[in-house]
Amino acid sequence: MIKNLIRQTQKVVRDTLKKFQKPAIACSFGLDSMLSLYFCRQIIPDIPVIWVDSGCEYPDTYRFIKKIVPTEKINLVKILAKHTFLWVVGRHGFPLYSRGNMAKYNKKYLPAHYCCLYLKRRPLQQHIRNTGYDIIVDGMRVDESQMRRYWITKRGICHYSKDNRSYRFHPVAYWTRDQEEEATKILKIPLNTIYKKKLEGCIARTGCWCCTMNWDRGNRSKYLRKYYPQLWRILMINYGFAKFLLKQRLNTEIPNEKIEDILETRPCFFDTVQENNNKR
């Protein structure tokens, strides 16, 4: 069955890309992106691979890119985000709730909207407009979020994007995570080492290590604390997330020395957040 799915996707990618003059692929170097990249490079070996570096990618991703780009002869186009995670937090607050909750929360109360906008979407959009790519391939899948399922179902796996002024193409949109994992083994696609770091109830994925969106779900805090304890402390102390959570839940300011004590004695206290009160 998986081999049939691979053949079908190969045909769809081939038939789609031949309709365009200047294709590129947006790649996070995660499982979904690497599978999409494999299909694209079968047709166009030197296809431009656009990677937006938010400045806070997981260490595994930086190591993986450094290794795979020369060995696989990937035509990497690296874009640096103009702003930083802390800049976004300073202006809009910590991103706690999904951008898909527009019906539940006012947009202005969704820092995640601005975080993704400044660190990912806007740098990519500006680059696409400046270079004139007519189609951008990605590894987006419908089962990653309700918002992605809605838009892909509505628009199709290949559609025109007004924001990018080009087409967007999602060749693995209806693949499942299990199918992707099976295919990468069959096709011998190299994978980011982050997928070896597993925790029950948490889906390993690439992205920004300091992302606090949907903090309550998926054991994000436990995952970061287990595999990246130094980064967890940076987020909690240097970035001020621990102070934010304490004030949010206790409704009072806590001295820095007391925060250190709580971090050491009750780290699980910081695994949850309080429900947003800024509802419509």
Question: pLDDT for 115-173, tens place per residue?
Answer: 888 999 999 999 999 999 999 999 999 988 788 888 899 999 999 998 888 999 999 99
pLDDT value of position 201: 74
Paired sense of beta strands 135-137 and 158-161, if any: unpaired
- pLDDT band at 111; cut points 50, 70, 90: low
- pLDDT band at 280; cut points 50, 70, 90: very low
Domains and CATH numbers, the chain: 2-187 (3.40.50.620), 209-271 (no CATH)
Q: Are 14 and 8 in contact, with CB atoms under 8 Å apart?
A: no
Tell me the residue type at 13.
V
* Whole-prediction pTM: 0.89
Quick: pLDDT tens for 164-212: 889 999 999 999 999 999 999 999 999 999 999 988 778 788 999 999 8
Q: Residue 275 carries which DSSP code?
A: P
pLDDT value of position 104: 46
Phi, psi of 198 (to 5 degrees): -110, 145
- pLDDT band at 102; cut points 50, 70, 90: very low
CA angle 69, 71, 73 (to 5 degrees): 60
